[in-house]
Amino acid sequence: MKNEILLLEDVIGLGRKGQIATAKSGYIRNFLLPKKKAVIAERHLVRLQEKLQKERDEQAVKDKKDSDALAKQLVDQTLTIAVKIDANGHMYGAVTAQDVAKLLKEQLSIELDKRNVLLPKGIKKLGVHAVELKLKEGISAQVGLEIKAEEKAEEA
Instruction: Render each residue's pLDDT in the chain as its tens digit; 156 residues.
Output: 568 898 988 898 899 888 889 999 999 999 999 999 998 888 777 777 888 888 888 988 998 999 898 888 888 889 999 999 888 888 888 999 999 999 999 998 888 888 889 988 889 999 999 999 998 888 899 999 999 988 765 444
Task: Please list the residue range(s) of the chain that carry CATH number 3.40.5.10.
Answer: 2-63
Could you tell me the sign of the dihedral formed by the alpha carbons of 120, 123, 124, 130, in that order? positive
pLDDT reported for residue 43? 76
Q: How many CB atoms lie within 10 A of CB 72?
A: 9
Q: For residues 41 and 86, give the distance between their C-alpha atoms in angstroms, rounded to a whole number.
A: 58
- Superfamily (CATH H level) for 75-149: Ribosomal protein L9, C-terminal domain (3.10.430.100)
Task: Please list the residue range(s) of the chain that carry CATH number 3.10.430.100.
Answer: 75-149
pLDDT reported for residue 56? 86
pLDDT reported for residue 2? 64
- Superfamily (CATH H level) for 2-63: Ribosomal protein L9, N-terminal domain (3.40.5.10)
Could you tell me the sign of the dihedral formed by the alpha carbons of 35, 37, 42, 46, in that order? positive
Contact 130, 74 (CB under 8 A): no
Amino acid in position 117? V
Q: What is this structure's pTM?
A: 0.68
Would strands 2-7 and 38-40 be described as parallel, antiparallel, or unpaired?
Answer: antiparallel
pLDDT reported for residue 89? 80
**15 φψ region: left (φ > 0), alpha (ψ -120 to 50), beta (else):** left
Distance of CA 102 to the CA centre of its chain: 12
pLDDT reported for residue 153? 52
At 79 the three-state DSSP class reads strand
